[in-house]
């Protein structure tokens, strides 16, 4: 079971500026990749499992999530779960930590809705709040 990576209220302070800048660059890169590249090319780069990578600790997962969500709210466009998930996965990879980007789908109002969420070992990173509503289609590990 994925445990939420929420930490005590003492951590409710702004994300460090450098982490926000990294999240902003990662979301921008993810947005461009989604618009310009084919999905299979993005998936190929994401799905590069590495042995011996440690999972993110709760503190790291918390700050990455906080920075990605905070920066995502400040963009002139809406950074959806896919952009946020790619950004979080890239930020974890940059730190040498294992991640799994999960891609799911569910029927909604007669259409198919997709969702992306990221975990690192047993720790939820981003997008995990409503993952139970989606059937898992693919997992990309790094």
Instruction: Taking the CA atoms of 2, 71, 86 and 129 in sequence, report the sign of the dihedral they define.
Output: positive
Q: What does 96-124 look like in DSSP terms, one character per residue?
A: T-B-EEEEEEEEETTEEEEEEEEEETTEE
Angle at the Cα of 123 from the Cα atoms of 74 and 61, rounded to 5 degrees: 35
Per-residue model confidence as pLDDT tens digits over 96-128: 999 999 999 999 999 999 999 999 999 999 999
> What does the pLDDT read at residue 2?
53
Of all residues in the chain, the percent with pLDDT exceeding 90 is 65
Per-residue model confidence as pLDDT tens digits over 28-76: 999 999 999 998 898 888 888 778 889 999 999 999 999 999 888 877 7
Quick one: pLDDT band at residue 10, thresholds 50, 70, 90? very low
11 has pLDDT over 70: no
């Amino acid at each position: 079971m994925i445990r939420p990576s929420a930490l005590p209220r003492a951590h409710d302070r702004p994300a460090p500026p450098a982490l926000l800048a990294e999240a902003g660059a990662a979301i921008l890169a993810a947005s461009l990749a989604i618009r310009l590249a084919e999905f299979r090319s993005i998936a190929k780069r994401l799905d590069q499992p590495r042995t011996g990578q440690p999972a993110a600790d709760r503190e790291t997962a918390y700050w990455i999530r906080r920075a990605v969500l905070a920066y995502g709210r400040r963009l002139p466009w809406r950074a959806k779960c896919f952009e946020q998930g790619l950004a979080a996965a890239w930020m974890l990879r940059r730190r040498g930590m294992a991640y799994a980007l999960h891609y799911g789908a569910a029927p909604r109002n007669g259409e198919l809705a997709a969702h992306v969420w990221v975990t690192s070992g047993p720790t939820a990173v981003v997008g995990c709040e409503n993952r139970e509503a989606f059937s898992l289609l693919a997992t990309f590990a790094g």
